Chain A
Amino acid sequence: MSLELRYFAWVRERIGSPGENIDVPSEVTTVGDLISWLSSKDEGYAAAFAEPDIIRAAIDHEHADHDTALAGAKEVAFFPPMTGG
C-alpha cells in the first residue's frame, strides 16, 4: 500500500521531514501498526514515536484512533496533541 505521510510540530522535527510517500508492507493494517513499523526504521522515527500513546493521527484530514484501519487511506498524518486557540 502506498501512503502519503504528513508530520507536524515536534513529530516533524524529530523525524526531520514534513512528510513522504511511502510503500507500507501488507501486514501493516492499522494506524498503530504504522507507528510501530515506522519506529523500527530509524532513530528519528523512534524518537518521534517514543510515547505512542500521546501521538495523534488523522486519515485523510479526519482524526483517527490508533486502532483505525488504514484500508482506503490516501494521506495519514501524525502530530502531538493540538495546542491551538
Chain B
Amino acid sequence: MSCTIRIRIQPQSFDIEEESSRLTEGRSDVGALVTFTGYCRDEGGTLAALTLEHYPGMAEAEISRIAEEAVARWPLSGLTAIHRHGRIVPGEPIVLVAAASSHRQAAFEAASFMMDYLKTRAPFWKKEERVGDQEGDWVQAKAVDDAAAGRWQKP
C-alpha cells in the first residue's frame, strides 16, 4: 500500500481538523484515523511556558526515519507528524501524530509507536519557564518513556 508521509517541524500552531481531513479527503479506503495531540500543561499552575529547542536538519531526518519504520510495520494509507519548536504556553498543542489505515489496530499501534519514538529519538529538548520569572530547568528524560519505546523492539 502506498502511504503519504507528511513531516513538519515548525514554530507555529497547527489545525487538527485540517490535518485530519488531508488524510481522508478523496479516499474511500480509509477505515480508521487515529490522531494524537500532545499539549503543554501548566503543571498545577506553576508552569508559565515551555521553550522547545531542536536540532534543525536532524529533527526532520529523524522523524522521517521513525515514520518510514512505522510505514514498514503497519499497512497505513497516510501518516502525519508535526512537532513545534520555540516558546509554547500551557493549553497550546506541541505535537500531532495522525495515522490512517483500513483498520483501527494498525492506526492505533502506528500512532502509539510514533509517539513513543518521537519522545525518545527525535532531537527536541524542553526548557521550563516557571510562573513568577523564576529560572526554569530543562525537562529530564524519563525512564518510563524509554521503556515505552523499548516495547516496540523486535526480538
Which residues on A are within 8 Å of B, measured CB to CB? 6, 8-10, 58, 61-63, 77, 79-85
Contacts and interface: CB of A to CB of B under 8 A. Distances in A.
Contacts of B139: 83
Most B C-beta atoms less than 10 A away, residue of A58, A63, A81, A85: A85
B141 A9 contact: no
A63 B61 CA distance: 11
B75 interface: no
Given A61-B58, A77-B123, A85-B94, 13 more contacts: A9-B138, A61-B62, A63-B62, A77-B58, A80-B138, A81-B120, A83-B124, A84-B54, A84-B95, A84-B122, A84-B126, A85-B115, A85-B124
Contact of A79 (B57, B95, B125, B126): B125
B58 A80 contact: no
Contacts, number: 72
A58 B58 CA distance: 9
Would you list the 7 A-B pairs with minimal beta carbon distance, nearest first?
A84-B124, A81-B141, A85-B119, A9-B125, A61-B58, A83-B139, A85-B118
Contacts of B61: 61-62
Interface string B105-137: 000000000010011111111110000000000
B84 to A, nearest CB: 10
Majority secondary structure, B binding face: mixed
B121 A9 contact: no
Contacts of B31: none
Contacts of B53: 8-9
Contacts of B83: 84-85
Contacts of A81: 120, 140-141
B152 interface: no
A58 B55 contact: yes
10 contacts: A9-B53, A61-B55, A61-B61, A80-B125, A82-B141, A83-B119, A83-B139, A84-B118, A84-B123, A85-B115
A80 B94 contact: no
A77 B54 CA distance: 12
Given A61-B62, A82-B122, A84-B123, A77 B138 contact: no
Interface string B5-35: 0000000000000000000000000000000
